[in-house]
Amino acid sequence: MREVGIAGVGHTKFGKWTEGTFVDMLSKAAVEALDDAGIRTVKGHGVDQVFVASMGSGMINRQSGVASALVDTLNLRPAMAETIENGPASGASAVKLGYMAIASGMCNCVLVVGGEMMRVVSGWEGTDFVATMLHPEAEYNYGLTLPAFAGMFTRLYMEKYGVTERDLSIVSVKNHENAVHNPVAHIHVVPSLYAIADDEDAHVINPYVAEPLRMYHVCPVSDGAAAVVLCAMDQADRFAKKPVKIAGIGQATDTHSVAEREVPTDLLAVRLAAQRAYDMAGLKPQDIDVAELHDAFQILEVAESEEVGFFEKGQGHIAARNGETRIGGKIPINTSGGLKAKGHPLGATGVSQIVELVRQLRGEAGGRQVQDAKTGLAVNFGGFGNNVVATILAREEE
């Protein structure tokens, strides 16, 4: 199969987008990625295909054909264009399709832009929008939401494996500390573990969102966009920087209705997606130097760190307690700040994870750099684990 790499990355500051329209936001990330790749957005640009990843462009931004609009705005006509939706895993799905487009030989260069402008809806309305990814008859219409599921999942995890609220706060604080060094992160304020977990009044600033999940165990609502330029590795010379290779991609679906899962604390789609990605890359969990895991809720970082094989099942929170997932630890997780502190604009997240891994593998991650990182794993989690994409990047040896 033809090899595919990432030649450029771009990323808006996650948070509240105030500089224009939804397409303007996508464009900003895209132009940064095209510039990073050394491609000018003029005739002869060589971009064959544009994929936009978004979950809510239609539902909350009332816009269809966004990918065509972006092609036109960027002056990339007549490039092909589609919008890709896979809930919160839309971003990694779009990268996967970019991979396929190039590996097939139909394209040489693909621009993938993930974005969500979701602060136009807020509070209950925003939670409801996100909940549209749940099973339409068995879950959504009974009022179930993602925080509700995550709360139940956390409770099961606590009972089965002894995870505590404090463990979730440990993961949260770590990610907030990493985000301080990431200029594009939404939140640059770091809560202390004492303040959100140990102080006798900790519950005041860290109230329950969906018991036992507290505010600091849940990602914020963010606007944002992230972009990558994918290229055929056999054309690497066309680009300004040495491309980072996509070594493996794995994806798997699980039951759409969470209640149908045999062991509700297992995330089978994460396990299988990661296994497929490892197999394709010819790598094992212990070969990974840095990982971005989908911590929309802190318990998911713990559970995913187990399902991808970094730790035994039930041991993820112990590893977090012991600092093994911090920068400098055994396997640094969410150096970007993760969804918790970098933010989680749904369609952007999967692309944003790849952007972070590219920065790490290029040695461009500044104060959050993992020393000599050569391989990175990203897990992008769709639905409540019903459609998961794992992606492995590898820096080729000089």
**Which residues are at the interface with a second copy (CB under 8 A)?**
1-2, 21-23, 55-56, 58-59, 62-65, 67-69, 71-73, 76-87, 90, 93, 96-97, 99-101, 103-106, 132-133, 135-137, 140, 249, 251-257, 268-269, 272, 382-383, 386-387
Select 235 or 253, whichever has its Cβ closest to a second copy: 253
Taking the complex as a whole, how short is the minimal distance between the CB of residue 382 and a second copy, in angstroms? Answer: 6
Taking the complex as a whole, how short is the minimal distance between the CB of residue 131 and a second copy, in angstroms? Answer: 9
The angle that helices 298-307 and 268-281 make with each other, rounded to 10 degrees, is 50
Taking the complex as a whole, how short is the minimal distance between the CB of residue 383 and a second copy, in angstroms? Answer: 5
Taking the complex as a whole, how short is the minimal distance between the CB of residue 77 and a second copy, in angstroms? Answer: 5
Select 178 or 386, whichever has its Cβ closest to a second copy: 386
375-382/109-116 β-pairing: unpaired
CA 38 to chain CA centroid, nearest Å:
25
Go through the chain and tell me how many residues it has. 398
Taking the complex as a whole, how short is the minimal distance between the CB of residue 307 and a second copy, in angstroms? Answer: 14
Taking the complex as a whole, how short is the minimal distance between the CB of residue 302 and a second copy, in angstroms? Answer: 23
Residue 376 neighbours by CB distance under 10 Å: 28
Question: How far is residue 393 from each of residues 3, 226, 242, 281, 379, measured CA to CA in Å?
Answer: 12, 17, 13, 9, 12
Instruction: Return the amino acid letter for 215.
Output: M
Q: Are 144 and 134 in contact (CB under 8 A)?
A: yes
The owner of tokens 């790849």 is 354
Select 49 or 169, whichever has its Cβ closest to a second copy: 49
Taking the complex as a whole, how short is the minimal distance between the CB of residue 204 and a second copy, in angstroms? Answer: 35
Select 68 or 235, whichever has its Cβ closest to a second copy: 68
Select 97 or 225, whichever has its Cβ closest to a second copy: 97
DSSP H or E run through 280: helix 268-281
CA 330 to chain CA centroid, nearest Å:
21
d(CA 307, CA 315): 11
Select 119 or 271, whichever has its Cβ closest to a second copy: 271
Q: Are 118 and 55 in contact (CB under 8 A)?
A: no
Q: Are 179 and 187 in contact (CB under 8 A)?
A: yes
What is the distance in angstroms between the CA of the first residue and the CA of the last residue of the chain? 22
Taking the complex as a whole, how short is the minimal distance between the CB of residue 310 and a second copy, in angstroms? Answer: 21
Select 37 or 71, whichever has its Cβ closest to a second copy: 71
Instruction: Return the amino acid letter for 274.
Output: A
Residue 42 structure tokens: 């003029």
The owner of tokens 């995330």 is 267
Select 19 or 398, whichever has its Cβ closest to a second copy: 19
Residue 263 structure tokens: 């062991």
